[in-house]
Structure 1
Amino acid sequence: MMRKQIVAMLMGAVLFGSVQAQEKLTLDLEAARQYALDYNRTIKNSGLAIEQSQEKLWETIAAGLPQVNATADYSNAMGAEISIQFDETQEPSKIPIKPTSNFNLQVGQLLFNGSYLVGIQTAKLAQKLSEKNFEKTEQDVLSQVTESYYLVLIAEESMKILESNVKNLNEVYRKTEPLVRVGMMEKVELDQLSVQVNSLNNSVRAAERQHEMAKNLMRVQLGVSADTELELTRSLADFLDDNTLVGTESSFVPGQNLDFQLLEVQEEMTEKQILMQQANYLPTITGYYNYTEKILKPAFDMSPRHMIGLQMNIPIFSSGERRAKVRQARIDLETTRNTKALMQDQLDIQFKQLQFNLKSAIESYQVQKKNVEVSREVYQNLKRKYGQGMISGLELTTADNNYLQSESEYLASMLEVLQAQNALDTLTGKLVNN
């Protein structure tokens, strides 16, 4: 009885382990996007960059806050003495050097520094830049997940079409076999069907591998293990019904684009670099307080315990070095502004091109949708005629190939529409804003 309980426990553990290893995710597109936002490792790294920029900002601020340092020392002359002789006729006096030990506490405070103030503003902009980079990373991942979702659906639909086609041809093959045996059809008809069936079986296996590759790509983007099973609940029809094929936005503002927003922040940072170089002309003023405690005092001690002071560092002449740095910063700003203007023109052109691509893709999709319906009907009619002995096996396989070609072009047109819409949403920042 005990042995049976142990075996049952072991079997339960094995089954539980297999269930744990075979985790299953059931996702619609929105759930897949949200899962990627929560677990994608690239997004996590981008989030860590924001935390690092926050620490960098505090590091910059802390440089202008009070700085406290303490030192302690001990010295021993190992019995050495100081020799003092006031008169050559007399023997010099010997004063032993006693061990000494000091404790020193120093407090420093930056009172004025132009570079410090500009540095804080620049650090804040660097934090803003890291936040924009985080948004850009989120957008890129969302775009990739969206496209992977479409690729999985396309691959799955292609696999279903091929499997259905193989099933139909196998049925035709089974019905043709007895006709060949009784001499009502030639064996060449059966051989042609056999070649077509074998070719389609290879295509099915290739489609299965492509389907799995698309899922693997999506697993990487979602941040899940290779053993995680993915079940997608949306279908291609959900994304390609007549209500969704309405075209694109009629207007576009470059400020909607995250790449343009990143360049705007970089422009602000470049402006601060000019102020940073100009601040090098200003003096730096610091104050300090020093406290010294003699733990082991020497025989003769005149140093005070408390000391305060001010120090001013005034830049006077640098042979044009500071001026050259200011001019370089201004050139950098002008270059950044030219790049920004160029990007604005490029984004306007890209927006119009993506609109054109989407409209063309929708038109192609609508044509291919009609074509595949006609090809399917033609194939079904020819299949019935073949069963009646009115056409040859070669004509049937040719019609089958034509039908599969039209299905392939139809799926390609679907993917083209979805990719064009995804590219447009990415350009306009719609993915992140939604």
Structure 2
Amino acid sequence: MRRKQIVTVILVLLMWGTTSAQEKLTLDLEAAKEHALNYNLTIKNSGLAVDQSQQQLWEAISAGLPHINASADYSNALGAEISIQFDENAPPSTIPIKPTSNFNLNVNQLLFNGGYIVGIQTAKLAEKLAEKNQSKTKQDIVSQVIEGYYLVLLSEESLKILETNIANLREIYRKTEPMVKVGMIEELELDQLSVQVNSLDNALKSAERQYEMAKNLLRVQLGVTAETELELTETLAEVMDEKNTAELLMETSFDVAENIDYQLMDVQEEMTEKQIKMQKANYLPTLSGYYNYTEKILKPAFDMSPKHMVGLQMDIPIFASGERRSKVRQAKIDLETTRNNKALLEDQLSIQYKQLQFNLRSAYESHETQQKNVEVARRVYENIKRKYEQGMISGIELTTADNNYLQAETEYLNSMLEVLQAQNALNTLTGEVINN
């Protein structure tokens, strides 16, 4: 009885493990984007980088705040004595060295340093840069999720087309077999159909593998495990927004300031400007103050040390053989280089915007053509299929029409994907990828 209970418990645990491992996600495109923003590990790491930059800012601020240190010591001369002889004819006097112990409290405060304020400003810019990098990471991941979502939909619809086509051909093959047996159709026609069915079977297996690869890629982007089952609730036709395409095709101005790469370059320029100020601050003196308190726990026989001590310390840079001047000039060169790169990026983004608009227009025109082609190919295939079933044409003509129809369907799906990818690329450039 006890053995049976143990077996039952093991089975329940195995069933629970299987159920928990096979988590299922049902997602539309917006839900997929939201899931990636919450669970993608690359985005999480960018958030940690922002947290780290905030701690670095506080580190820079704390350098100018009071620093308090305490110390305690104990020393013992192990019975040694100090020998003092005031008269060479008299024997020397000895003073035993007593054990001593001190407690010290030291307070330091930076009063003036030229680089301190600049350092805080630079740390704030570093935090801003980390936040911009996080925004760019989110944008890139969302763009990848959109692409991955489209690829899964394309693979899924390609599978459906192949499955439907194979089912139709197998039905034709089933109807053709009796006609061959009674001599109405040559066996060669049946063989041709068999070859076509086998070829499509291989194509179907390849499409299934591509479908699984596309889902695995999307799983990585979503931040889920390989065992998570994905169910996408939309089709390519549903996610293809004709209105959005029309708006993107309109000739509009592009504000490069909305581009995340340009914003990153802006922050980089500010940081380079701060580096010039930082190097110039090295010419200024540094002033600090201190307070020291000493408590004698075990006092020596002769003690003149005061308990309280305050003081100021100023470090004045005088001559460094041109080192500081060289660093300032290097910082200015870096600033000029950054500004040149910024101007170059602005030109590149403007050209890229026009190119992406051209790509979208070309993809949309190709899609409209392929939409007409697939309708014609479907009608031709249905007509030839009826004629074949009536024995009016050969199997070669049927398989040719079938191949043409499959190719037209494939090109039509690819044209939809190209339009969606072009939309996504344009939205990514303009910074609208997360909002759309």
From the superposition, tell whether residues 344 and 88 of structure 1 become closer, same or farther in structure 2 (CA, over 3 Å). same
Instruction: Return the letter of the residue paired with 1:159.
Output: L
Q: Residue 288 of structure 2: SS of its match in structure 1?
A: strand
Deviation of 1:390 (Å): 1.1
Taking the TM superposition and a 5 Å limit, the aligned residue runs for 1:237-252 are 237-240=237-240, 242-248=242-248, 250-252=252-254
Deviation of 1:2 (Å): 8.5
Deviation of 1:432 (Å): 3.4
Q: Is the 8 A contact 1:135 1:432 kept in 2?
A: no
Of 372, 375, 394, the match for 1:373: 375
Q: Is the 8 A contact 1:76 1:99 kept in 2?
A: yes
What is the rounded CA distance, in whole Å, between the counterparts of 2:164 and 2:114 in structure 1?
A: 75
What is the rounded CA distance, in whole Å, between the counterparts of 1:351 and 1:190 in structure 2?
A: 54
Q: Which runs of 5+ in 1 are unaligned?
A: none
Which residue of 2 is the match for residue 384 of structure 1?
Answer: 386
Deviation of 1:329 (Å): 0.4
Of 327, 330, 340, the match for 1:328: 330
Instruction: Return the letter of the residue paired with 1:152.
Output: V
Identify the range of structure 1 (421-430 vs 73-82) with the bigger mean alpha-carbon deviation: 73-82
Taking the TM superposition and a 5 Å limit, the aligned residue runs for 1:150-165 are 150-165=150-165
Which residue of 2 is the match for residue 171 of structure 1?
Answer: 171
What CA deviation, in whole Å up to 9, does each residue of 1:142-169 have, x standing for no partner? 0000000000000000000000000000
From the superposition, tell whether residues 214 and 110 of structure 1 become closer, same or farther in structure 2 (CA, over 3 Å). same
From the superposition, tell whether residues 72 and 9 of structure 1 become closer, same or farther in structure 2 (CA, over 3 Å). closer
Aligned length: 434
What CA deviation, in whole Å up to 9, does each residue of 1:370-418 have, x standing for no partner? 0011011111111111111111111111111111111111111111101
Q: Is the 8 A contact 2:139 2:433 kept in 1?
A: yes
Deviation of 1:8 (Å): 6.0
Q: Is the 8 A contact 1:247 1:359 kept in 2?
A: no
Q: Is the 8 A contact 2:245 2:423 kept in 1?
A: no
What is the rounded CA distance, in whole Å, between the counterparts of 2:435 and 2:387 in structure 1?
A: 56
Instruction: Return the letter of the residue paired with 1:38.
Output: N
Taking the TM superposition and a 5 Å limit, the aligned residue runs for 1:215-254 are 215-240=215-240, 242-248=242-248, 250-254=252-256
Which residue of 2 is the match for residue 353 of structure 1?
Answer: 355
From the superposition, tell whether residues 312 and 242 of structure 1 become closer, same or farther in structure 2 (CA, over 3 Å). closer
Which residue of 1 is the match for residue 125 of structure 2?
Answer: 125
Deviation of 1:95 (Å): 1.3
What is the rounded CA distance, in whole Å, between the counterparts of 2:256 and 2:342 in structure 1?
A: 10
Deviation of 1:242 (Å): 3.8
Deviation of 1:18 (Å): 2.2
- What's the Cα RMSD here? 1.5
What is the rounded CA distance, in whole Å, between the counterparts of 2:57 and 2:3 in structure 1?
A: 65
Q: Residue 243 of structure 1: SS of its match in structure 2?
A: helix
From the superposition, tell whether residues 66 and 338 of structure 1 become closer, same or farther in structure 2 (CA, over 3 Å). same
What is the rounded CA distance, in whole Å, between the counterparts of 1:244 and 1:392 in structure 2?
A: 46
What is the rounded CA distance, in whole Å, between the counterparts of 2:101 and 2:242 in structure 1?
A: 89
Instruction: Return the letter of the residue paired with 1:395.
Output: E
From the superposition, tell whether residues 355 and 413 of structure 1 become closer, same or farther in structure 2 (CA, over 3 Å). same
From the superposition, tell whether residues 5 and 300 of structure 1 become closer, same or farther in structure 2 (CA, over 3 Å). closer
Q: Is the 8 A contact 1:74 1:100 kept in 2?
A: yes
Taking the TM superposition and a 5 Å limit, the aligned residue runs for 1:35-184 are 35-184=35-184
What is the rounded CA distance, in whole Å, between the counterparts of 2:11 and 2:230 in structure 1?
A: 26
Which residue of 2 is the match for residue 282 of structure 1?
Answer: 284
Which residue of 2 is the match for residue 318 of structure 1?
Answer: 320
Q: Normalising to structure 1: TM-score of the pair? A: 0.97
Q: Residue 198 of structure 2: SS of its match in structure 1?
A: helix
Deviation of 1:12 (Å): 4.4
Q: Residue 306 of structure 2: SS of its match in structure 1?
A: coil
Deviation of 1:14 (Å): 3.6
What is the rounded CA distance, in whole Å, between the counterparts of 2:415 and 2:424 in structure 1?
A: 14
From the superposition, tell whether residues 159 and 344 of structure 1 become closer, same or farther in structure 2 (CA, over 3 Å). same
Deviation of 1:229 (Å): 0.6
